[in-house]
Structure 1
Amino acid sequence: MKITENTVVGLTYELKVSKDADEIESAPFSVEIRDSEDPFYFLFGASDLPPKFEELLAGKSQGEEFSFVLPMADAYGEVDEDLIVNLPKTQFSDENGFTGEMLKEGNFLPLMDENGYPMQAKILKDLGEEILLDFNHPLVGFDLHFEGNIEEVREATKDELAHGHVHGVHGEHDE
């Protein structure tokens, strides 16, 4: 079966990132490996992945290897300065489920948006009474280098299509 709209896709891959800053390109460095013990599954056509990522996988079949680079513009784009904000430390109290250990520079805080959906913010700096948080996607500002294998391609179930995500062992819910 080939990867098409409404198929469930399982991948193993290594993701490397690089930056092209001021005409000096950095060497790609590894940031994530998904192996056969922990493949990445998604519903093709209904994911939050960059459209170019899905476009480059479209039509491939189980067992095929892939290797491509998503330039920053086709990945998560450039840093949005409006998503970097100062917030009072008091919002991140023990009563709200946060510990002092969680509030260290470089950590990602698990948060919820106003609709109850999970999100995260990276702590850029402790400013005393406030903390500087970055709500940009962690891969914003990078070129993404993918190398991997298509482990599985199958038709999505009616429930998966209705819910917009993969269910079962490799998804969000156990069936």
Structure 2
Amino acid sequence: MKVEENKVIGIAFELKVSKDEDDIESVPFSVEVRDENDPFYFVFGKSGLPEKFEEILSGKEINDEFSFVLEKENAYGEADEELILTLPKSQFSKQNGFTEEMIQEGNFLPLMDENQQPMQAKILKIQGDNLILDFNHALVGFDLHFDGKILSVRNASEAEKQSGLVEGVD
């Protein structure tokens, strides 16, 4: 079975990132590894992953290996200043499910959007009674280096096709 739209894909991979800053290219460093014991599953065409990522995997089959780099323009792009917001620290209280340990500069806060989908924001700065939060994707501004293998391909259920969320694993 081939990787194509409305299939649930299971992959093992290593993701490394790099970033060009001030005309100095950084050496890629590993940020995530998913192996055959803990594959990453997604609904092809509904994953929210970069379009180019899915385009490169399209047509591959079980046991096919892949190795490619998505430059930031084809990954998560550049940071959007409009996604950096100042919010009252009081919104992140114990009553709302947050602990003092969570409210630290550099931490990512687990949040839900208006559709109850999980999202996160990075605490850039604590400024008195306010938090400066960055809602940009954590990998914005980075080139993404993928090395991996297709482990499984199956038809997505109707619910998976609608939601884009994988219900179960193989």
How would you bin the TM-score normalised by the shorter chain?
Answer: over 0.9
Q: CA deviation at 1:159?
A: 3.4
**TM (normalized to structure 1)?**
0.92
Q: CA deviation at 1:68?
A: 0.3
Q: Deviations over 1:96-115 (max 9, x none)?
A: 11111110111111112223
Q: Distance in 2 between matches of 1:22 and 1:94?
A: 41
Partner of 1:144: 144
RMSD: 1.3
**TM (normalized to structure 2)?**
0.94
Bigger Cα displacement from structure 2, 114-123 vs 69-78: 114-123
Structure 1 unmatched ranges of 5 or more: 171-175
Partner of 2:42: 42
Partner of 2:65: 65
Q: Deviations over 1:85-132 (max 9, x none)?
A: 111111111111111111011111111222322211001111121111
Q: Distance in 1 between matches of 2:166 and 2:39?
A: 13
Bigger Cα displacement from structure 2, 70-79 vs 94-103: 94-103
Partner of 1:23: 23
Q: Secondary structure at the match of 1:4?
A: coil
Q: Distance in 1 between matches of 2:131 and 2:76?
A: 24
The count of corresponding residues between Structure 1 and Structure 2 is: 170
Partner of 2:5: 5
Q: Distance in 2 between matches of 1:157 and 1:113?
A: 24
Q: Superposition pairs for residues 42-121 of structure 1, below 5 Å? A: 42-121=42-121
Q: What fraction of aligned residue pairs are identical, expressed as a percent?
A: 65
1:134 aligns with 2:134: yes
Q: Secondary structure at the match of 2:101?
A: helix
Q: Which runs of 4+ in 1 moved over 4 A?
A: none
Structure 2 unmatched ranges of 5 or more: none
Q: Secondary structure at the match of 2:56?
A: helix
